[in-house]
Structure 1
Amino acid sequence: MPSQQLSSEENDGFSAKFPNIELREDANPAQHTPLYPSLARIGYVPDLELHQARLQSSRKRLQASGGVGNLPKEWPQVLQGPLVWSGSDLQTSNEWVYNFSEIDIKEIRSGLEHCKGLKLELSQVKKTSFPLPRLGRILEDLSSKLHNGRGFFILKGLDPKEFTREDNVILYLGISSYIAEQRGRQSHDGSLITHITDAVLSNTPRPERPSLYSNVAQPYHNDITPDILALYCLNSAISGGKNCIASSWTVYNELAATRLDIIRTLAENSWNTAGGFTPLKSHALLYNNSKGRPILNFSRRILTSNDNFPRTRDFSLFEPLTEAQAEALDAVNFTAVKHGLEINLLPGDMCFINNLALLHGRNAFEDSDESKRYFLRLWLRDPERAWDIPEGLRKVHDLVFQPQPDVEDHWDIDPYSAKGHELKSSTNCG
């Protein structure tokens, strides 16, 4: 990134408009010490104008300090492979879509009837109980591409209106078992499935509900910490609500080429992420796993708070975000926006995302009486193809996928069941 001095007039105007951002002459990003002790001005909804102002301030600091320094030791300079992509390159391609044939759908129906005839618990719906002799091989090949290819794909061709609520869950579990058979709990009380909708029938008012259960936009983020994120669209909104995905590897490459100091900030064990499954403990947002595959994993909502998820101001628990952290968080978001791909998921579509390699978000939406956006979410893992989990994420990852003696795993197929009715409790997404 080219250096750029701010004139005295620009400096004065900048300080007047953004008084919480201090322009320091003595800042030295190469040493990577906290530059700003005060609370950073940053919100859940990314502010492009504020981010651009921070970038202007950074140019002056970096010019004064002599540059952006080096990458952390043993981190790759450039990532290569099919996971490095930009949305503009994929918009006209349908290689990431698999359309079910009539033969596939007949096989799915047959597998569903076979599974129902066994009268199993939902946790027992697996490849062995949901036979897909032909389609199963195709799905397993797609799973390989999910882990080692571009990191996502969509299945199309089902009509959820042709199935009951329970049958939709069963066939979703049956199909997804060929992608990744291990399912993760998505809440402290052991819920294994999440209903994503504007939960207007909930007893929690919309302003107090997590964005997951509202109609607001969600900035780019990861879910914490499933390997695979699966979404099954049962219904779409009357307007808006497109899903957005972006390659973390492409984001990494751009930041590594232009702002190495941001890579270092993301990799520091100084991010305080109290909330959801995450312990009250500082850790990094960016990790370099044992096979040299950087993993970006964070929830913006937990880091910045939003209307229904206030971040405590008790600094004895953890410090607020610094200006360097705020800049890094927004740099990730706006780089992802630059290279992102919008996906319009329609009823019957199933989307599978490598959550360790891709970021995702969602546009705001509006429902109508006739068309209400409604998705089912699973957190999945394939032990055979799974990426190595960095040490800093293992504790939380184990809470999702390993047996917990004090937690009773369960399936709420009714979005307004007794367990699902209260929507204030947070999960690690958004």
Structure 2
Amino acid sequence: MSRQEDGNSQPPRNYPTHIDGPTKWSGQDSNEDFVVNLNNSGVTEAEKGLELFHEHELDGDEITPRCFPLPTLRNKLEECALEVHRGRGLCVIRGLKPEKYSIEDNIVLFLGISSYIGDKRGIQNSKGDVLSHVTESKSWTVPKEKRHGIHTNYSLPFHTDMGCEILSIQVRDRANEGGCTCVASIAAIYNDLVQTKPWVLHALAKHDWPIQAFRKETPFVLCPLIEYHAGNLCVSMDPARIGPHPSYRNDSTPDLTPEQREALIVLQETARKHQIRLATEPGDLLFINNLALLHGREAYLDSDTSSRHLVRLWLRNTQLGWAIPPSMNMPWDAAFGERASKVIDRYYPIMPMPNYIECKYSSGTAAFVADDNFDEWTSSVSRGEGDDGGPQLEENA
């Protein structure tokens, strides 16, 4: 469909003709100035924060800048938070060596450092898990087609973790081959499409995309995939969460229109055109503005001795965070808002589940918060709690 055929030669109403600012970068002219390298003194300071955590016998939810002091690193981390929200939307902290620490200590370092980037942690399922493991365990026997996309070695299309504000990732190990994380700026994509295919922007901005809602009473909601709100162009989309879900019987969710399907294809093509391929290293901490950048993954192969393994955390910075468009509030509410507040307990699984339980309801590329009726985990995995019932770092969740 051309702009002549569609009749839309301008951006959608109330959208800018061009987006300026640091978020409009393209991989075609980018470099790695988003990487912050920790020197020896910075690593030592983080390790002192780790010692303090153990001295006070704290739980996962109690890890804050106050109890994980980083007096020298603080300024550098606050600059990273500004870069995520007011700059390019991406920051990588490099310098930690995961082989130096226990599995639990690696998680504590991740939580401690990330508490300076975002002060609020979102839940990633209705059980209250704050951490997810993006990996494919060699011990799992459930067929790949019955797992979430993050638990396979397949490539993943460009998407966002719908509901998340800051996508935070700890690289625990790399694949033997492939598995590169790619990111692309929605601002660069937008500026490109304004000039080439503005009809795609009109399609993406319409409030008629059926988004799976994981609620028995409301299987879907109609939302836009992009919205210009409070001076920011926001994106919230996962191709696997749009339209009817094949596992949900009697689904009233409408099919995508031919225009919507074509718009998604063009969006993926344009994202690849402007992408950055992140050359990550074990120990890297990635912080991505999930409202400003799309991310995807290349397919990968593990070896007998290594497995690609990322630990995922969803963050919000209550001071710097972007205003959430009302049209995109539904998934955000499940991770950070009123629905999230109804989940009393919080859990911090430090390892993937030892035995993968087949998903009752696969919830998209990124695996999302679901109501109990559509929960992505049907496992009654033991969740160890302390004597006070507080949030714990768990060995096998």
Task: Using structure 1 for the length normalisation, give the TM-score.
Answer: 0.80
The match for 2:246 is: 310
Seen in structure 2, the aligned counterparts of structure 1 residues 85 and 408 have a Cα distance that, compared at 3 Å, is: same
Cα shift readout 1:287-324 (whole Å, capped 9, x = no counterpart):
121x221111101112268xxx636585x612101110
Choose from 411, 414, 427 the match for 2:351. 414
Shift in CA distance, 427/114, structure 1 to aligned 2, threshold 3 Å: farther
Describe the shift of the 1:152–1:159 C-alpha distance in structure 2 as closer, same or farther (beyond 3 A): same
Q: 1:63 to 1:73 in 2, by over 3 A?
A: closer
State whether residues 187 and 427 of structure 1, in contact with CA within 8 Å, keep that contact through their aligned partners in structure 2.
no
1:364-400 Cα deviation digits (max 9, x unpaired) = 0000111110110000000000000000112321210
2:129 is aligned with 1:194:
no
Detail structure 1 runs of 4+ shifted over 6 Å in the superposition: none
Using the alignment, how far apart are the partners of 2:302 and 2:243 within structure 1? 27
SS at match of 2:348: coil
CA RMSD of aligned residues (A): 2.0
Question: Unpaired segments of 5 or more residues in structure 2?
Answer: 367-397
2:24 corresponds in structure 1 to 84
Is contact 1:231-1:352 (8 Å) kept? Answer: yes
Match of 2:298 among 363, 366, 369: 363
Are 2:240 and 1:282 aligned?
A: no
How far apart are the structure 2 equivalents of 1:275 and 1:414?
28
1:245 is the counterpart of 2:183: yes
**Separation in 1, partners of 2:185, 2:252:** 33
After superposition, the Cα gap between the structure-2 partners of 1:144 and 1:63, relative to the gap in structure 1 and judged at 3 Å, is closer
Residues in 2 aligned to 1:302 and 1:318: alpha-carbon distance in whole angstroms? 11
How far does residue 346 in structure 1 lie from its aligned partner after superposition? Answer: 1.4
* Matching residue of 1:230: 168
Residues 313 and 261 of structure 1, relative CA distance in 2, 3 Å threshold: farther
Q: Report the alpha carbon displacement of residue 404 of structure 1 after superposing the two structures with TM.
A: 2.8
Which residue in the other structure is 2:69 paired with? 131
Match of 1:398 in 2: 333
Equivalent position amino acid for 1:250 in 2: A
The answer to whether residue 274 in structure 2 is matched with residue 339 in structure 1 is yes
**CA distance 1:162–1:211, shift in 2 (3 Å):** same
**1:94-147 CA deviation, whole Å, 9 max, x = no partner?**
311111100001001111001111111111111111110001111011101110
Query: Greater CA deviation, 336-345 or 203-212?
Result: 203-212
- Equivalent position amino acid for 2:269 in 1: F
Aligned match for 2:236, one of 297, 305, 309: 297
Contact 2:186 2:293 in 1 (8 A): yes
Q: Map Cα deviations across residues 57-95 of structure 1 (whole Å, 9 max, x no partner).
A: x13xx5456x324433211111001101111211xx331
**Residue of structure 2 in register with 1:50 after alignment:** none
* Equivalent AA in structure 2 for residue 284 of structure 1: P
What letter is aligned with 1:72? P
Q: Secondary structure at the match of 2:117?
A: coil
Q: Secondary structure of 2:11's partner?
A: coil
What does residue range 353-392 of structure 1 map to in structure 2 within 5 Å?
Answer: 353-392=288-327
Aligned to 1:68: 8
Q: Which residue does 1:45 correspond to in 2?
A: none
For 1:140-289, what aligned pairs fall within 5 Å after superposition?
140-274=78-212, 280-289=220-229
Structure 1 match to 2:261:
326
* CA pair 347-304 structure 1, distance change in 2 beyond 3 A: farther
AA aligned to 2:234 is I
Distance 1:215 1:334 in 2: 21
How far, CA to CA, are the matches of 1:294 and 1:423 in structure 2? 37
**Conserved 8 A contact 1:186-1:427:** no
Greater gyration radius: 1
Report the 3-state secondary structure (helix = DSSP H, G, I; strand = E; otherwise coil) of the residue aligned with 1:288: strand
Q: Given residue 86 of structure 1, which amino acid in structure 2 is its aligned partner?
A: S
- Structure number with the higher strand fraction is 2
Q: 1:249 to 1:124 in 2, by over 3 A?
A: same
Q: Which residue of 1 is the match for residue 43 of structure 2?
A: 105
Q: Is the 8 A contact 2:139 2:354 kept in 1?
A: no
- Seq. identity, %: 33
Contact 1:249–1:294 (8 Å) recurs in 2: yes
Q: Gaps spanning 5+ residues in structure 1: where?
A: 1-57
Q: CA deviation at 1:407?
A: 5.0
